[in-house]
Structure 1
Amino acid sequence: MSAVYKWCGLAKAVKVGLLAATTAGGWSSVTLAAQVPAQQHSTVRSFDIAAGSLTEVLSRFASAAGAAISFDARDTDGLHSPGIKGTFGVSEGFARILGGSGLQAEPQANGTFVLRAVPATGSALELGATTVNAQVLGATTENSGSYTTGAVTIGKGEHSLKETPQSVTVMTRKMLDDQNLNTIDQVMEKTPGITVYDSTMGGKYFYSRGFRMSGQYQYDGVPLDMGNLYVQADSFSSDMAYYDRVEVLRGAAGMMKGSGGTAGGVNFVRKRGLAVAHTDITLSGGSWDNYRGQVDTGGPLNASGSLRGRAVIAEQSRHYFVDDASRKDQVYYGALDLDVSPDTTLGLGIAYEDVDANPCWGGLPRYKDRSDLKLSRSTCLDPSWNTWRSKRTTVFSDLTHQLNDDWKLKVASVYTKNTQAIKYAFASGAVTPGTNTTGMLGSLYDYDQVDYGLDAYIDGKFAAFGQQHELVLGMNASRANKDDFYSVAFLPQRQDVFNPDKSIPEPDDSYFIENSSRGGPVKSVTKQKGVYSTLRLKLADPLTVVVGGRVSWYSSDTDYDFLNAVPSQHSSTRETGQVTPFAGVLLDLNDNLTAYASYSDIFTPQGNYRSEDGSALKPLVGQSYELGIKGAWFDGRLNSAFNLFRTIQKDQAQTDYNSSCPSSDGYCYVNAGKVRAQGFEAEISGEVIERLQLLAGYTYTQTKTLDDIDTTLNGAAFNSYVPRHVLRMWGEYALTGALERFTLGAGVNAQSDNYRVSPSSGEKISQSGYAIWNGRIGYRIDDTWSVALNGNNLFDKRYYTTIGTETFGNYYGEPRNFMVSLKASF
């Protein structure tokens, strides 16, 4: 069978066909044929081919590309391919389709290709380096060996970093593994442009561009209201073992879920079933009895490869550099991906996480004059009975259907349930010289939250006016149910800061109820839903305009029952038909550089905050502007970005410390006037030179209060927690020659000074700037086994990660520590 086509403007006709030849003795040969000159192999074209069997995907690609490839059908029998989407040359397209299959497409002198097994000659390291250098990166990052990605999915569909008119950093699987980043806190601490601030209740607050990232999370693109609660601040107990990557957006995130806030968002993308059987086993041990074991295995579950599975089990047991603190994590994850048809794939996954900890929370106090107590870094002023139990179950599902060559439908949902039981006390109160004691504040929590999320959209291309354009139409919705009981009470004992008593008696639960300063049952239901659309118009070959918007509906109902004789309260918030626009323009300066500009609206409901008169606060609103230039080299294996940003925000909820309200912290809130944040960011990620992977980002941020109800604050820094200068950098180099089995990694986290203003005295409590250096040495023993030594804070810098007040909240950074990891891959 044959047909005649014109391809890529060639004047001559070429013969395209599927020549399936003989079948004899169980042996078959397949040739997917179209005679194309060899020089055309590098010609770049756009492809969008759905997942399917490897034979089928090769056939579709060869036909679309006008390429000829011959192979033994036994080599592809039972193998699956994730398909291909994006702009590639013919050779690059074959490389991506065959990635991880153990096969490669060898170009022939006559312009055709032959499918052969990847040669087994040479050392494993030499093969690994060759694979990375020849690889065309996609959105999935595991086994890419790269610190960058070919596509991001925090928006809808897949687009390269250069095609995305906002600032996005991707923490790839290799980056997470190389630095032993196992929690969301650790990931954010190493992400360019992000500042992490410790909560006294064990969680972490994340800041971007001067503003707090309040619960802006996605699972596989499905937005949820995770975090953003006093029990866990902006973080939560999620292990990174079953994620492929973490995509971090800086800047307004209104297109994510409408009430998107100012600072950005985070998308956790999970691991999927594997088309080729593979297993990783990792054992680690390090300072302060820190031990971790992890098994990650997967592969095809039927002969055709249409059903693929994945299982991850991880367990970690550790102590900390502070006295008597410990934590044990257990993680179980399973996933199935089924090709229901050549055009339809169903994905299912479930994760269970269990945390059992004896934490040291609250940080350290200071002297009344705000000077440092200069305590040992191992000092913990908490009693030994502190307890934190957290259990989380998460269920994932998604369905992807290729409607035709140009249009795709995706529907995804997430369900997660988190229960936490917490009982703890920490030192609270400024220290008077000579007495050397401080008070003790205790808390009791019984916390349950259930979150549901759904996202559905169609993404497609259409031709008009001689150009190809893209349209996304979708809707998403989320629901968060919280059922909480908490109580905060001062204990009768005092703590000696220089000779802490770990055996302070544990009060009965009834003590917290009878002596509560604030607390009680809190129940709330928060619902969000919206419709959205994004249109990418190719106005000319170098010029693309992106316009989008979301119409959002938001409701929140909360019931408070208080223990301290305060009447019960009900708060309700409704926002209807709120429009959040987005616009961007991209101009290709040449093959490698693209200039861009973007604008986003900001809208975040704040009705659950109450002013002193009991009324709900107005929504936070504002505008975000960004102007920059992005670059991509070596087929996208190296990406760079530089941008200027400015954000204007109005009416953010701020604590009124001169008030008293029945809230989680006992204070009322006010809409805080007008604030400006501006600065610039520079980032580079990927293969800078051969064998060197690098992620480096520098951020300059300036915040300023333009108009505030307290006029003395006008002109002052709005957020003093965020340093003006932040540098995050990590690189790894694979040695050559006689040392080819070794890899060397090194990095630094550096920042300028920051400070906190004391709520009692109004004076600054400052932290000088610092730089923390880390390193890694890796050694590949053979094709299966490798070992690595990680060292953190190599120069043993003494510093505070977080500056608190005179009363509490001052946290030391970790002293020098090491971790040895042994890994088997087969």
Structure 2
Amino acid sequence: MALKNKIASIYSNSTVFLKPVLFICLAALGNASFGQSEIEQAIEINIAPQPLGQAITQLATQTGLLIGVDASLIADKQADALNGRYTPAQAIVQLLSGSGLRAVETASGRYIVELAPAEPQSTNNLDRVRLPEITVTSLLDSHSPYNTSYTRSKATAATKTTTPVIEIPVSIQVVPRAVLDDQKSLTLKDALQNVSGVQATPTLGNDTGFNIRGFRNDSNYRNGLIANGGNANFPTAFDTANLQSIEVLKGPASILFGRIEPGGMVNITTKRPLAIPYYSLEQQSGSYDLYRTQWDATGPVTKDGSLLYRFNGSYLNSESFRDAIFRDRIMVSGSLTWRPTQATELTLEVEGIHQKGQVDFGIPVIGSRPAQIPISRTFGDRNDPVDTDAKVHVGTEFTHRFNSNWLVRNRFLMTDIDQNQTFFNPAPSFGDALRDNRFLDRNIFHQRHHLQSYATNLDLNGNFGLGSTLHEVLVGFDYLRSQTNYFIAGEFSTPAPVLTVDIFNPMITATDPSIIRQTLQENNRYTALQDEWAGVYFQDRITLWNKLHILAGGRYDWVSAGRSFSPASFSEAEKNVLKRKDEAFNPRVGILYQLLTQVSLFSNWTTSFAANNGVSATGASFDPQIGEQFEAGIKTALFKERLITTLAFYYLTRENILTRDLSTPDPLDSIAVGKQRSKGIELDISGQVTEELSVIGSYAYTDAEIIRDNSGFQGHRLPQAPKHAGSAWLRYIVKKIHPLNGLSFGIGVFAVAEREGDIQNTFKLPGYARLDAFAAYSTKLGATRLTAQINARNILDERYYESNDPASNIGPRLGVYPGAPVTVLGSLRLEY
């Protein structure tokens, strides 16, 4: 029977929701050819209880067998432990025992997995399904450290389920770990340059803070829960060592995740414990005295594999192309997974980051362009105290499967952030601190913020058939509570004449520490910000005729948000918090039709709700933000579903947006500028063209402007929203030229058009195109794999400007961030 007909028959006989898009997986971790003696020889097999797909991968690793399997056959199936001495043929039979599947040998050392027949069938080879052999990494779990594929066909952020991307009627992109390793992305902004419609908007030199589809979004989600509390105006330290992948969901995501900006959301997934032992140590060094050590260790704690662990982290010490700017950062993460039964799993994860360094507020603007001064020039002080940034995440995830169709999942995340920063800032920070286009007035300012947040959710997910329709339903509840205490001291509005510098001929100052201490005893203010929200949501993904997918759902929110300040203490500020309570319902409807297995058309409509946690200069609170999006597009899964593409057209609006009120000296005073609109086209491509050639690329046309405003900005373009931006990264792995096996190399270009620098449209950041490349070689040293790699960024040494401060700490005209000149990073990694 042909494979297509066989798959169709499986679907027609199933009452369980089965995904119509299939892919063929192959595990080939051993030699491609086998002798008969090797097949018959008994070896020691050690496989822990785990999902059947992972167990098959582990068996292929230990035996060297080539095993082909249809992914739908093993979905939601569990494997029992397999320990002892077996021949490879005995081992695979034993592993599949009781699963309703059987292994069919197609050649020496080569097997396919298929449904076990209910009655004896013909052994005619014409009736046997022969699955094609593809690359080794295709069957590897997406969390496997050996998975070098750029293809990620699933993402949880869109639906909180494992529905294939090509079946979801929304635009979502995934940046996998393999891309981060090839590009040596050390920061979140480096990784997200691969996604259309996303532009970095950091503040004080931090690596987080983004515009998505023209709208600023400082909120980062971690394994589906918000990781920086309800008040996200304080970007913090971040390290990619514990990062498994990044998901970017475009457009309003409120239906499943609560209060969030309508442009989209960034959800990071962290590394989890694995059942297969794995250890790695990597040393990196590069330009500007960068040294970074990264480690990873995982495997079973108990012999039966019911308890797994993972311990990873990194240490970074680096100078910068910017004068007097440095970072000293350590990140440590540990996690445990306990599987008391095959149906139940509990994971505990703790991650801590501590960073020391100096904040960077960039360079000022003269006229309509960044000042033509060396991009290395900063305007700090020799006695500027070192700034610190500490963050702790404690998270749990509990999953219980009632059967193959129904499961319940609970997540919890506690976040504690403590930032302490003192800097010689432009004064007035939000005014005209650059006099005569030459003299930068400054003063000394200190800010400290401490955030503690608690987030949790409970989801029930199930599949069932109803008549001729298949349903995948989700019902859930989530809750967030966060408290931010923000303290400021010193002077940010009135300059100190003795601290004025000539930006064209600066004299490096060394201010008397006693003057610094005295200044920081003035103008103290304590601000308390509180957020609390709860939401219930439901979602049903209905499938008809295995081609038409309808996604419908909604969410009801209860939100309380507010702030207050006091010159005396945090306790006084907390007593007088002015809270506003709002509640709202937001729907989402989407439809997707699969013209072919590889081609889908989709459209959606959704709204969003976001409480405005701010106070005007008069002390009044603000109505909540409202977002609305219409989107349509086409998705494809080409080259045996290894290359995923999404082309989307969208129209997005939001109303009641808070923006820094530049007419007052209070950095927390806000104004609601009315209504903004963004419309555009986005294209994203990622995956494998062939076994050797992989690609990840993007293009975005973004038309974002102010439609209605109370400050005279109607018709202005939104800042940091270039009309055109794109990227293309190609990687080639040599696999068929024996002397060069193990060699890989890649090249990429990242381009951004001219864009406005502030909401007043008083200046522009010029467009640029940056060229990057890498080359790597891997070889085996016994049981250890050694990989040497070199990466070069900005090969053509282009002078460019990444972004500017979005009026968070200083005015946009005073804080433009240059991009780094040509930089080189070398690394050595040992894996075993």
CA drift of 1:539 comes to: 3.0
Amino acid at match of 1:144: N
The Cα shift of 1:708 comes to 2.0
> Map of 1:361-400 to 2, 5 A cutoff?
361-367=360-366, 369-370=367-368, 372-384=370-382, 385-400=384-399
Report the Cα offset of residue 483 of structure 1.
2.2
Rounded to whole Å, the distance in 1 between the matches of 2:297 and 2:115 is 27
1:327: which partner in 2? 327
Alignment of 1:228-243 (within 5 A): 228-230=231-233, 232=234, 235-243=235-243
Q: Deviations over 1:731-773 (max 9, x none)?
A: 2111341433321111111011112258xxx663122211001
Q: Which AA in structure 2 matches 1:268? A: I
Determine the C-alpha separation between the residues in 1 that align with 2:401 and 2:361. Answer: 52
- 1:181 to 1:336, Cα distance in 2 relative to 1, 3 A: same
Change (3 A) 1:792 1:674: same
Indicate conservation of the 8 Å contact 1:459/1:472, yes or no.
Answer: yes
Instruction: Report the equivalent of 1:732.
Output: 731
**Pairwise mapping of residues 578-657 of structure 1 onto structure 2 (< 5 A)?**
578-606=584-612, 608-657=613-662
Q: Cα 1:806–1:561, aligned 2, differ >3 Å: closer, same or farther?
A: closer
Residue 746 (structure 1) aligned with residue 747 (structure 2):
yes
Structural RMSD (CA): 3.5
- 1:243·1:270 contact (CA, 8 Å) conserved in 2? yes
Equivalent in 779, 796, 812 of residue 777 of structure 2: 779
After superposition, the Cα gap between the structure-2 partners of 1:765 and 1:700, relative to the gap in structure 1 and judged at 3 Å, is same
The 8 Å contact of residues 470 and 544 in structure 2, kept in 1 or not, is answered as no
**In 2 relative to 1, CA 58–729 (structure 1 residues): closer, same or farther, beyond 3 Å?**
farther
1-side partners of 2:804 and 2:171: how far apart?
A: 28
189-198 or 614-623: which moved more? 189-198
CA distance in 2, matches of 1:29, 1:601: 50
Deviation (angstroms), 1:450:
1.1
Q: Deviations over 1:203-258 (max 9, x none)?
A: 6431011111131x32212234448544x3xx321211112111111211112322
How do 1:474-493 and structure 2 match up within 5 A? 474-489=476-491, 490-491=495-496, 492-493=498-499
- More moved, 404-413 vs 137-146: 137-146
Q: Separation in 1 of the partners of 2:45 and 2:822?
A: 60
Give distance in 2, aligned partners of 1:191 and 1:93. Answer: 39
Distance 1:92 1:333 in 2: 40
Pair 1:788 & 2:786 matched: no
**Bigger mean CA deviation after superposition, 584-593 or 242-251:** 242-251
C-alpha deviations, 1:135-194, integer Å up to 9, x for none?
Answer: 247553643211231311113121221122222121111111111212223323443321
- How far off is 1:633 after superposition? 2.9
Going from structure 1 to structure 2, the CA distance change for 1:61 and 1:165 (only over 3 Å counts) comes to: farther
Q: Which residue of 2 aligns with 1:101?
A: none
The yes-or-no answer on 1:545 pairing with 2:550 is: yes
Q: Is the 8 A contact 1:528 1:552 kept in 2?
A: yes
Q: Determine if contact 1:557/1:570 at 8 Å carries over to the other structure.
A: no
TM-score relative to the length of structure 1? 0.82
User: Structure 1 CA distance, aligned partners of 2:114 and 2:329?
Assistant: 41
Distance across 1 between alignment mates of 2:101 and 2:79: 20
CA 1:472–1:244 in 2, change beyond 3 Å: closer, same or farther?
same
Indicate if the aligned counterparts of 1:139 and 1:151 stay in contact, CA closer than 8 A: no
Query: Which of 767, 772, 797 is the matching residue for 1:769?
Result: 767
- CA distance in 1 between counterparts of 2:487 and 2:245 reads 35
Aligned residue runs from structure 1 range 144-223, under 5 A: 144-154=147-157, 155-200=159-204, 202=206, 204-215=208-219, 217-223=220-226
Q: Distance in 1 between matches of 2:732 and 2:704?
A: 37
Q: Distance in 2 between matches of 1:404 and 1:764?
A: 61
Is the 1:755–1:803 contact (alpha carbons within 8 Å) kept by the matching residues of 2? Answer: no
Compared CA separation, residues 329 and 513, structure 1 to 2 (3 A): closer
Q: Is the 8 A contact 2:81 2:304 kept in 1?
A: no
Which amino acid is the alignment partner of residue 76 of structure 2?
Answer: I
Cα 1:613–1:539 change in 2 (3 A) is same
In the alignment, is the contact (CA less than 8 A) between 2:101 and 2:113 conserved in 1? no
Tell which deviates more after alignment, 242-251 or 633-642: 633-642
1: distance between equivalents of 2:792 and 2:683?
26
Q: Deviation per CA, 1:603-656, whole angstroms, max 9, x where unpaired?
A: 1111x3223332111111131111011111345321011010010222212334
Amino acid of the structure 2 residue aligned with 1:825: E
Count of residues paired in the alignment: 736
Q: CA deviation at 1:715?
A: 2.9
Do 1:65 and 1:90's aligned partners in 2 also have CA atoms closer than 8 Å?
Answer: no
- Provide the C-alpha distance between the structure 2 equivalents of 1:251 and 1:653, rounded to a whole number of angstroms: 19
Distance 1:383 1:631 in 2: 54
Structure-2 change in CA distance of 1:403 and 1:512 (3 Å): farther
After the TM superposition, which of the residue ranges 505-514 and 736-745 deviates more from structure 2? 505-514
Between the aligned residues of both structures, percent identity stands at 22
Q: Distance in 2 between matches of 1:28 and 1:420?
A: 50
Q: SS in structure 1 opposite 2:136? A: helix
* 1:49 matched residue in structure 2: 76
Q: CA offset at residue 58 of structure 1?
A: 8.3
| Equivalence for 1:100 | none
Cα 1:183–1:262 shift into 2, 3 Å: same
Match of 1:130? 135
TM-score by length of 2: 0.82
Distance 1:539-1:741 versus aligned 2 partners, 3 A rule: closer
CA distance in 1, matches of 2:820, 2:392: 30
Q: SS of 2:518's equivalent?
A: helix
The one-character-per-residue Cα deviations of 1:313-367 (angstroms, maximum 9, x if unpaired) are 31110000011211111111111111111111111111121111133x2111244
- Counterpart secondary structure, 1:49: coil
Relative to structure 1, the CA distance from residue 327 to residue 9 in structure 2 (aligned partners, 3 Å threshold; closer, same or farther) is closer
Aligned to 2:102: 67
1:223, 1:256 within 8 Å by CA — same for their partners in 2? no
Could you tell me how far 1:682 is from its partner in structure 2?
0.7
- 1:291-690 alignment runs, 5 A limit: 291-359=291-359, 361-367=360-366, 369-370=367-368, 372-384=370-382, 385-428=384-427, 430-432=433-435, 436-489=438-491, 490-491=495-496, 492-497=498-503, 498-506=505-513, 510-516=517-523, 520-562=525-567, 570-606=576-612, 608-659=613-664, 663=666, 665=667, 668-690=669-691
Structure-2 separation of matches of 1:280 and 1:597? 43
State the alpha-carbon separation in 2 of the partners of residues 646 and 300 from structure 1.
Answer: 49
Mapped contact 2:560–2:581 kept (Cα < 8 A): yes
Aligned equivalents of 1:309 and 1:552: distance in 2?
Answer: 37
Corresponding residue SS for 2:763: strand
Q: Which amino acid aligns with 1:637?
A: R
Shift of 1:587: 0.4
**Matches of 2:150 and 2:43 in 1, distance apart?**
43
Q: Equivalent residues in 2 for 1:787-806 (5 A)? A: 787-803=788-804
Check 1:108–1:642 CA distance in 2 against 1; reply closer, same or farther (3 A cut).
Answer: farther
Change (3 A) 1:512 1:605: farther
After TM superposition, give the deviation of residue 563 of structure 1 in Å.
7.4
Separation in structure 2 between the aligned mates of residue 28 and residue 510 of structure 1, nearest angstrom: 66
Helix, strand or coil for the counterpart of 1:764?
A: coil
Any gaps of 5 or more consecutive residues in structure 1?
A: 1-5, 14-24, 33-40, 76-88, 95-106, 115-126
Q: Assess, with a 3 A threshold, how the Cα gap between structure 1 residues 672 and 636 changes in structure 2: closer, same or farther.
A: same
d(CA) in 1 for partners of 2:552, 2:605: 10
**Cα-to-partner distance string for 1:485-540 (whole Å, 9 max, x where unaligned):** 11241444212322331423345565345443xx5111232111111111011133
Q: Which amino acid aligns with 1:160?
A: P
Task: Give the secondary structure class of the aligned counterpart of 2:185.
Answer: coil
Structure 1: distance between partners of 2:194 and 2:45: 51
Which amino acid in structure 2 is aligned with residue 267 of structure 1?
A: N
Tell me the distance in 1 between the aligned counterparts of 2:664 and 2:634.
Answer: 47
Question: AA paired with 2:827?
Answer: S
